[in-house]
A and B are shown apart, each in its own frame.
Chain A
Amino acid sequence: MTENPLWTWRRLVAVTLARALLACLLGLAAWGALPALIGWHPTTVSSGSMLPRLHVGDVAVSRPLGPQPPPLTSVLLFEDPDHAGRLRMHRFVRIDDDGLLVTRGDANEADDSTHVALSAVRGIGTLRVPWIALPVVWVRQGQWLDLGLVAAGLALLVLVASSSRDHGFADDDPPETGPDEPLPDEPDPPRPEDPAVTSPERAGWQRPALRRVAALLGAGLLAGALTTSALTAPADARFSATTATTASLATPTYFGCASALTSFNPYFLYRMDETSSSATAATDSSGNGRTGVYGSSGKTSTTNKPCSNDSGRAMTFDGSSGYLSSPAVSGGSPDTFSLSVWFRTTTTSGGKLIGFGNAQTGQSPNYDRHVYMTDTGRIYFGVYSSGNKTISSSSSYNDGSWHLSVATMSSAGMRLYVDGRQVGSDPSTTTGEASSTSYVRVAFDKVTFWENEPTSPYFGGSLDDAAFFTTALSATQVQSVYNAR
């Protein structure tokens, strides 16, 4: 013992400083770890999106949410909505329309894209213990050099702090204890009333070996608790950035002419998509199952159709025997109706396009409410109402192109549209000749005695989409059929 070097002031200062630093580090660790005992939530900050408020390696301690919602601009610890099982610590900036919390990293340029529910919030950031968890971050990121340097520094501090026990005293007070007893070798967590210091000859607690073990144990436990809590729940303060564009897709009001016609609830709709020239059944596309009847000859199917947006085909009638008839119309000839058909021809002998007659085949004894083409290609709409009432187009349409004719009658009178535009009207004719048995005739029926009577009752040319409505289509509806081509 006597060979121990004596204390010097310089050495005393060094030892005291070293101990103070170690004690301070332990104090910080205690700040980081001990709040967990009262249910607070320490986490390691593992990325820098909350800079400059939170740094990587800080331990942030969050207190649990009270009954009140967190205040705006507080920093919240919450379950990361973008990465299951991880925590995020960002600032609470506002509440969105759905009542979710909008958060944002201070260093991010925009709010977090996914908003979080209040139930996902684990706590409000309250304590920040700077840098203390840096070793944890270094271990995670493999920065072994930094880790080694700090470890070496710590070892040096411990060395200096524990060097005291090799020193004796110059004063002549008899040593109260063994020469190396009174000085703890490792700093302890703050424990001011260390009982070991003053009284000699106490039991084991004051013996150096035990004290050392106790100190090491305390420091180890603290560091362990801190590391565990920090490792198990690192808080990611995430950087994020977005870039965006938009897309909008829209379909037209009607996919095609037939779709438009269908949407107006026709009594029948013959799309004339049959490919066989000997077919006699004309499929009704209205959904009403009113299958029409073709003449067994005098027609051929064609791919030249009026509506490029429609699937299917059109039918060419020969002008001498081909025709199409509907089954009997229930209730006979109506006074409110629309007749619609597409046509394409270069004929100079005209013919019936579409109209009512009281026979399904051959020439009907009674025939009116019909649309026919004259030899010059003009379109006529005629209704027998105490005499022949007609309205007509002034232009000719036997030009080899597809045209749409729509005739309507109702209490508002007669109207004739060609290619979507009204070409004639007669508001005073609102009823036709009563007929209890009635068929819609297409491409052929009697036209005798009508104004500008065509040479041929048969129409020679292509037809498509013959439809009969028990309503009068509006001008807008007619236009939309034409526009959907």
Chain B
Amino acid sequence: MKPPSHRAVRRSRWLLWPFAALLSLVVVGQASYSAFSAKVVNSGNVLGVGTVVLNDDDSGSALFSLSNLRPGSSGSRCIAVTSSGSLPAAVKLYATDATTTKSLSTYVSWTVTQGTGGSYSSCSGFTALSSGATVYSGTLAGFTGSATSYSNGVGSWSPAGGSTDTRTFQVAYVISSSTPDSAQGGTASFGLTWEAQNS
């Protein structure tokens, strides 16, 4: 076979530019359409993708549902939160939909301690971490006012991912013994959310 002529070589050199331009246009166009077309909405749950998964052991029950609290009343409860995602993540605790009447939450001291052992049904066996156990300590109003989203949430738990990691949070309240009568009939209700985001 006759080797390619000077002319053929030169033409090949010319051809590749339109070819490359066209190819990149097609690739970007196709990729952009599939990624950003408003018609495409995905339902989630992609297999084979790293995940962040968080669960707790309250079976949908409230951590506290207490009435008739008087000055000096106190109590605590535990909840075990389990991370079972495949990605390393940082977990933060924050309050949602916090409401209080008669300023009750300003008279409630509120501590969240992290550790191991214990469960929603009983705190027995709970052991606080030897260091960094205190997740929050202050008034309930301070907690619900300052920890309202992931970005300002409290906590230092960072599950490494790839295996199940459980941490127990002991939540304790004390109704201040100096609570004035003006807080009679007061309420404080809020959600406690633990959120994990991959780090």
Contact = CB atoms under 8 A, between A and B. Distances in A.
Interface of A: 6-9, 12, 15-16, 19-20, 23-24, 26-28, 30-31, 47-54, 58, 60, 71-75, 81-84, 91, 106-109, 113-114, 124-130, 164, 169-171, 173, 175, 182-184, 187, 190-192, 197, 238-256, 259, 262-263, 309
A12 B9 contact: yes
A187 to B, nearest CB: 8
B21 A238 contact: no
Contacts of A7: 3-4, 9
Contacts of A24: 20, 23-24, 27
Contacts of B179: 251, 255
Contacts of B181: 254-255, 259, 262-263
B87 to A, nearest CB: 6
Interface string B33-51: 0111010111011100111
Interface string B179-193: 101011111111111
Q: Pick the 3 closest A-B CB pairs, nearest first.
A: A27-B24, A23-B20, A248-B189
Interface string B1-16: 1111111111011111
Contacts of B130: none
Nearest to B10: A182
A377 to B, nearest CB: 32
Given A28-B27, A81-B151, A242-B196, A247 B64 contact: yes
Interface in B69-105: 69-71, 79, 81, 85, 87, 89, 96, 102, 104-105
Contacts of A84: 151
B191 A245 contact: yes
Given A12-B12, A240-B195, A250 B66 contact: yes
Given A16-B16, A24-B20, A28-B27, A255 B71 contact: yes
Contact of B193 (A20, A170, A243): A243
Contacts of A309: 70
Contacts of B188: 248-250
B149 A173 contact: no
Interface in B52-67: 52-56, 58, 61-67
B166 to A, nearest CB: 12
Given A16-B15, A23-B17, A247-B192, A48 B184 contact: no
B198 A239 contact: yes
Given A16-B15, A113-B150, A239-B198, A252 B68 contact: yes
